[in-house]
């Protein structure tokens, strides 16, 4: 099965797969209680690397987004 990664406008990366493993630079594995897995892009999440919806509160707009020009 192909893994699908969606970029939510002004939101997280959403990984749609039943088998997702998130590992940091030290090899520490993070377990997500949710599926699909949403990874923070805004940097404001209290549950990094996972999204907690903080992008809405901080008004996150990614670089290069047509809505920010």
pLDDT at 66: 62
- Could you tell me if 60 and 8 are in contact, meaning their C-beta atoms sit under 8 angstroms apart? no
The pLDDT value recorded for residue 69 is 45
Q: Which residue has the higher pLDDT, 65 or 40?
A: 40
Task: Please answer whether residues 37 and 50 qualify as being in contact, where contact means their C-beta atoms are separated by less than 8 angstroms.
Answer: yes
As a whole number of angstroms, the distance between CA 2 and CA 11 comes to 22
Q: Hey, what domains does the chain have and what are their CATH numbers?
A: 4-68 (3.40.5.90)
Whether residue 10 is predicted with pLDDT greater than 90 in this model: the reply is yes
Q: How far apart are CA 14 and CA 31, in angstroms?
A: 15
Tell me: the pLDDT tens digits for 16-56? 988 889 999 999 999 888 899 999 999 999 999 999 999 99
pLDDT of residue 32: 87
CA 20/CA 27 separation, integer angstroms: 15
């Amino acid at each position: 099965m192909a893994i699908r990664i969606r970029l939510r406008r002004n939101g997280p990366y959403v990984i749609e797969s039943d088998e997702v493993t998130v590992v940091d630079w030290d090899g520490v594995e993070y377990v997500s209680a949710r599926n699909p897995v949403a990874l923070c892009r805004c940097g404001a999440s209290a549950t990094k690397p996972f999204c907690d919806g903080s992008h809405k509160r901080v008004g996150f707009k990614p670089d290069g987004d047509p809505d920010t020009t």
